[in-house]
Amino acid sequence: MLRVGMIGAGMVSQHHLLGWQKLHDAATIVAIADPGAENAARRAGAFGIPRTYASAAAMLGSEQLDAIDIAAPREHHAELVRLGVANGLAVLCQKPLAPTLAEAAALVAETRGARLMVHENWRFRRYYRDAARWLAAGSIGAVQQCQMTLLTSGLLPDADGVRAALVRQPFFRHERRLLVNEVLIHHLDTLRVLLGELRVTTARIGQTCTDIAGEDNALIGLRAESGAAAVLLGNLAAHGSPATQADDLLVIGTTGTIRLRGNRLERFGAAPEAIEYDMAECYQDSCDAVLAHLVDCVRTGSAFETTPEDNLHTLRLVEDAYRLSGWPPAP
């Protein structure tokens, strides 16, 4: 039984804790640490976690743990990872591993050899697993072009003036690096899984919502080592789009096309196929898969899929998008 300490009791922690509940035969959350006593108590009450602490250091000082699960804000990730590694624990850390590529690279160099896995869940979504399987089997030939989009109206005020994205995640207000570092980081990582290593060829980043400090729209051009061209378009303030996040994907190959639209993944060409998903389930599912993968790798000693070294490739794409677009603009 893996004894896990949860760090951070905010919005996303509910998805972690629901996932840990499903792994009750293999792991148990013995404590939760959060300087916000109310948040810690709320999660402890809802998930039957025996003890709460005001800090990760206090938790590690009192508990016998095998692993920690970090879901605190990004600016605390590196210090919390260092704490877990120094205590010889397996560490799962939410993305982004650190606020910048330089800070993440320094952390990775310092913690080399530790049992550290990045919680990058998008690539674990069932439809992306299926698309990756189709691509690996060569079922659409050589990929020529790819387009991924994430359009939401979450930052537009509704009839009552409420911006849904800021209710769900209030910290969106103050992040200077918002859309790419917080959200599109997932899409960049997934594109790497689908298309292989990429480089950023062009990026245009902007802001229309005045209630936030960072960017809410981005267009990122990419080129794969195979030569395929890709474009990632994201906008959190797009009129006519739903308030919730939903991805669209189009991958055009020499002998077929793969399209994700709504809840349907479809392959066109010589051997057509279509799969439909319960999209609401797919998000929780991807968190569950991350946790199950961590437990399995810790048990068997096998390598994590989302190692910090692998994640640096994704963080480099994030950094290059900011650099090439000149975002954030000088104050």
Ligand X SMILES: NC(=O)c1ccc[n+]([C@@H]2O[C@H](COP(=O)([O-])OP(=O)(O)OC[C@H]3O[C@@H](n4cnc5c(N)ncnc54)[C@H](O)[C@@H]3O)[C@@H](O)[C@H]2O)c1
- Say whether residue 306 binds ligand X (CB under 6 A): no
Count, residues in the chain: 331
Shortest distance in whole angstroms from residue 161 CB to ligand X = 22
| CA-to-CA dists, residue 200 to 187, 212, 325, angstroms | 13, 26, 11
Shortest distance in whole angstroms from residue 208 CB to ligand X = 22
Task: Work out the number of other CB atoms within 10 angstroms of the CB of residue 254.
Answer: 11
Which of 1, 11, 86, 271 is in the footprint of ligand X by CB under 6 A? Answer: 11
- Say whether residue 52 binds ligand X (CB under 6 A): no
Which of 30, 68, 71, 238 is in the footprint of ligand X by CB under 6 A? Answer: 71
- Say whether residue 123 binds ligand X (CB under 6 A): no
Alpha-carbon distance 230 to 167, whole Å? 32
- Taking CB atoms, the residue at the shortest distance from ligand X is 10
Any idea what the Cα angle at residue 262 is, between residues 260 and 267, rounded to 5°? Answer: 30
The residue (of 2 and 165) whose beta carbon lies closer to ligand X is: 165
The residue (of 144 and 245) whose beta carbon lies closer to ligand X is: 245
Closest-CA residue to 288 (of 119, 131, 40): 119
- Say whether residue 118 binds ligand X (CB under 6 A): no
Alpha-carbon distance 33 to 15, whole Å? 16
Shortest distance in whole angstroms from residue 243 CB to ligand X = 16
Which of 30, 44, 56, 180 is in the footprint of ligand X by CB under 6 A? Answer: 56
- Say whether residue 192 binds ligand X (CB under 6 A): no
Which among 2-10, 44-52, 196-204, 268-276 is the span making contact with ligand X, rule CB under 6 A?
A: 2-10
Instruction: Give the dihedral sign, CA 122/267/278/132.
Output: negative
Radius of gyration, alpha carbons of the chain: 20
- Say whether residue 33 binds ligand X (CB under 6 A): yes
Alpha-carbon distance 268 to 98, whole Å? 39
The residue (of 129 and 171) whose beta carbon lies closer to ligand X is: 171
Alpha-carbon distance 286 to 12, whole Å? 13
- Say whether residue 10 binds ligand X (CB under 6 A): yes
Cβ–Cβ < 8 Å for 149, 314:
no
At how many degrees (to 10) do helices 37-47 and 13-22 cross? Answer: 30
# binding residues, ligand X (CB under 6 A): 25
- Say whether residue 169 binds ligand X (CB under 6 A): yes
Which among 33-41, 137-145, 189-197, 225-233 is the span making contact with ligand X, rule CB under 6 A?
A: 33-41
